[in-house]
Amino acid sequence: MKSSSSSLFVGRWQPFHSGHQALIETVLKQGKPVVIAIRDTPLSQKNPYTVTERWTMIQKALHAYGELVKIVVIPDIDEICYGREVGYDVRNIELDPQTEAISGTKTRKQNPPLHPIIWLTGQSGAGKTTLAQALKTELNAVILDGDEMRESISLNAGFSEAERDEHNLRVARLALVLAKQSTVVVSVIAPFAKTREKITEMLQPIWVYLDRKLPSTKTKPYEAPLHPDVTLHPGQQTVTEEVREVVKCLRHEFT
């Protein structure tokens, strides 16, 4: 009679690829149950798949094993600790060289890459919406507009620094999901440098700063970026010229 105890596999599975499948099937083919733990990694360029997407990948790849497979979600751990006499085995599963060579990085390169994310930042009234609409036409892009986002994913959010920060990060997470399908243009002020640093770490967007000097007040704060990818000067440039500069940067970054 086979043991009902399980083998535990822990990973990001970003994404779940054939190397992962081969590793886990070495146990499943013995008729032994497995528990696959998905680390709940925050969305980023290195971790572009949500927990639900990874769960679906695993379930689809291993559906033939039925109830032998159990999937759980765990926090984003950075280490696994164990002591002496833990009551279970810790073993390394040897794979053939060809399977061992498969890596998550290689698999991500084989999948369609994320499309560009262009983030338009600048004070209220600088011309972000007008430029976003022009870029939508030029690049066949999806637009995430700040006002529309506040009426949907950030409904009832306020305008304190913490609330602005959370609103911007919600938009960033949505942009990351949409970038799997299309170029994304974000037209959101993102007034604080610390928030833009978080967004850069998450998305690596092309930052386009619309440098139009307008009054900065307590209700309309703005910290100008020091090193944007593109600086535009509304009032001195036509929208066509602005689009041309953004597209030039885009071609340089993604070719």
* Helices within the chain (DSSP H only): 18-28, 51-61, 97-100, 104-110, 128-139, 146-150, 161-178, 193-203, 239-253
CB neighbours of 23 closer than 8 A, spacing ≥ 6?
9, 93, 95, 99
pLDDT tens digits along 84-132: 777 778 888 877 776 666 554 444 344 445 789 999 999 988 999 999 9
Residue count (the chain): 255
Closest CA to 21 of 117, 29, 171: 29
Higher-confidence residue of 97 and 175: namely 175
CATH homologous superfamily, domain 117-253: P-loop containing nucleotide triphosphate hydrolases (3.40.50.300)
DSSP state of 111: S
Mean pLDDT, rounded, for 197-217: 88
For 70-105, b/e burial (b = at least 16 CB within 10 A) is: ebeeeeeeeeeeeeeeeeeeeeeeeeeeeeeebebe
Higher-confidence residue of 113 and 186: namely 186
**178, two tokens:** 């949409």
Share of the chain above pLDDT 70, in %: 91
Level-2 CATH architecture, domain 7-110 = 3-Layer(aba) Sandwich (3.40)
C-alpha 114/C-alpha 204 separation (Å) is 11
Q: What is the pLDDT of residue 99?
A: 65
- Please, which residues bridge with residue 237 across strands? 234
User: What is the CA 199 to chain-centroid distance, rounded?
Assistant: 10
Closest CA to 118 of 96, 141, 102, 137: 141
The answer to whether domain 7-110 and domain 117-253 are alike in fold is yes
User: What is the CA 126 to chain-centroid distance, rounded?
Assistant: 28
Which of 7-21, 76-90, 109-123, 153-167 has the least mean pLDDT? 109-123
Most confident segment among 49-58, 62-71, 148-157, 218-227: 62-71
pTM of the predicted protein model = 0.66
Mean pLDDT, rounded, for 227-255: 91
Task: Number of helices (H) and strands (E) in the chain: give both, helices first.
Answer: 9, 8
Domain ranges of the chain: 7-110, 117-253
